[in-house]
């Protein structure tokens, strides 16, 4: 049983929860995630990235968007309530090295899993430039947390209500043209990560993306999370969640995700893509 010790609503349907999970807090590393099951009667298992952890308190922080049955139910829980099952930390941690200047690109809810990665790159002695984007100012999350672990923060909104009126790929291209990034990390909707990867490709900048696919068990047995990377089948839950963005078959990945969606879900998915802009 994992007690909820803090809850915040960050935007209309995005929530932060701090959960008691001392063993996960102690052993987690940047880039890893958990599988959450509300209780044994509410059987769906969902993957959520660990957005932060506090070893001294024995807690982890998750940030999620209430868009499906389980996340909507999770959003209705309050401080003092319990989540019955947490499995983690799962996935291969981010390979953190001192490489020089790292540009971290986060779109919409993807800013949350980007946070611990930016923290780790900064702690390793890198210069960190963070680009965070949202559809509008109200949907922007974790700005202050990102500023604390970044040397520079560039904010983009689709409507220009805050920061630059631009897609996140625009300032990224400017930085690449100046030869600034030694490495790029991108987390957000698949379409955003695809175009970030295409932006960096001509400049031969190593680009890592963190994939969020359908998962059931988190151990590679169900096969629901399989993706094609460099022409080979990989499993996001055990081989990832991070892969070389220049090798990921994003079109195949997005096609597989649509296979699990109803028409209503697909409409919602298209709306969520708007968090970082529609790429034509």
Query: Do the domain assignments include residue 246?
Result: no
Query: Do the domain assignments include residue 72?
Result: yes
C-alpha distances in Å from residue 177, one per residue of 112, 127, 181, 199: 27, 18, 9, 10
Instruction: Say whether 222 counts as a known binding-site residue.
Output: yes
pLDDT at site 208:
97
Could you tell me if 132 and 54 lie in one domain? Answer: no
Query: Do the domain assignments include residue 240?
Result: no
Query: Do the domain assignments include residue 234?
Result: no
Could you tell me if 129 and 69 lie in one domain? Answer: no
Nearest CA to 17 out of 38, 32, 31 is that of 38
What parts of the chain have a pLDDT lower than 70? 42-43, 259-280
Could you tell me if 145 and 171 lie in one domain? Answer: yes
Tokens of residue 211, six digits: 């994939």
Half-sphere exposure of 23 (CA within 13 A, CB side): 8
pLDDT at site 260:
61
Could you tell me if 47 and 163 lie in one domain? Answer: no
Q: Which of 38, 66, 90 is the last residue of a domain?
A: 90
Widest Cα–Cα separation across the chain = 55
Q: Residues 189, 110: contact at Cβ < 8 Å?
A: yes
CA distance 53 to 29: 9
Instruction: Say whether 237 counts as a known binding-site residue.
Output: yes
CA distance 224 to 270: 21
Could you tell me if 121 and 180 lie in one domain? Answer: yes
Which CATH number covers residue 18? 2.40.30.10
Could you tell me if 19 and 117 lie in one domain? Answer: no
Could you tell me if 188 and 124 lie in one domain? Answer: yes
Could you tell me if 139 and 272 lie in one domain? Answer: yes
Query: Do the domain assignments include residue 237?
Result: no
The 10s digit of each residue's pLDDT in 57-112 is: 999 999 999 988 889 999 999 999 999 999 989 999 999 999 999 999 999 999 99
Residue given tokens 């955003």 in the structure block: 192
CA distance 33 to 241: 9
Could you tell me if 261 and 172 lie in one domain? Answer: yes
pLDDT at site 280:
32
Give residue 206's domain range.
101-212+253-276
Instruction: Say whether 65 counts as a known binding-site residue.
Output: yes
Beta bridge mates, 130: 104, 153
**What distance lies between CA 53 and its chain's CA centroid?**
15
pLDDT at site 8:
94
Tokens of residue 215, six digits: 């998962």
Which CATH number covers residue 149? 3.40.50.80
Instruction: Say whether 104 counts as a known binding-site residue.
Output: no
pLDDT at site 265:
47
Could you tell me if 136 and 270 lie in one domain? Answer: yes
CA distance 156 to 119: 21
pTM (predicted TM-score): 0.86
The tally of domains found in the chain comes to: 2
Could you tell me if 107 and 207 lie in one domain? Answer: yes
Nearest CA to 274 out of 146, 141, 167, 155 is that of 167
Q: Residues 199, 169: contact at Cβ < 8 Å?
A: yes
């Amino acid at each position: 049983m994992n007690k909820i010790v803090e809850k915040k609503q960050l935007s209309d349907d995005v929530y932060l929860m701090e959960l008691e999970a001392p063993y996960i807090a102690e052993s987690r590393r940047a880039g890893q995630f958990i599988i959450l099951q509300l209780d044994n009667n509410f059987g769906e298992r969902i993957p959520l990235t660990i957005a932060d952890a506090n070893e001294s308190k024995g807690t982890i922080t998750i940030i999620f968007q209430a868009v499906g049955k389980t996340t909507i139910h999770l959003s209705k829980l309050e401080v003092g309530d319990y989540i019955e099952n947490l499995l983690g930390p799962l996935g291969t941690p981010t390979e953190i090295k001192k490489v020089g200047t790292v540009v971290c690109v986060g779109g919409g809810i993807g800013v949350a899993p980007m946070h611990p990665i930016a923290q780790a790159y900064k702690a390793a002695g890198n210069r960190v430039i963070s680009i965070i984007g949202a559809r509008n100012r109200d949907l922007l999350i974790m700005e202050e947390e990102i500023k604390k672990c970044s040397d520079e923060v560039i904010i983009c909104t689709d409507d220009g209500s805050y920061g630059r009126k631009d897609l996140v790929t625009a300032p990224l291209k400017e930085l690449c043209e100046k030869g600034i990034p030694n490495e790029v990390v991108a987390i957000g909707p698949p379409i955003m990560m695809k175009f970030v990867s295409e932006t960096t490709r001509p400049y031969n900048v190593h680009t890592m993306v963190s994939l969020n696919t359908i998962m059931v068990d988190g151990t590679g047995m169900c096969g629901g999370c399989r993706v094609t990377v460099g022409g080979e089948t990989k499993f996001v839950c055990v081989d990832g969640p991070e892969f070389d963005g220049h090798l990921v078959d994003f079109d195949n990945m997005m096609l597989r995700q649509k296979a699990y969606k109803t028409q209503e879900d697909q409409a919602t998915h298209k709306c969520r893509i708007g968090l970082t802009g529609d790429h034509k």
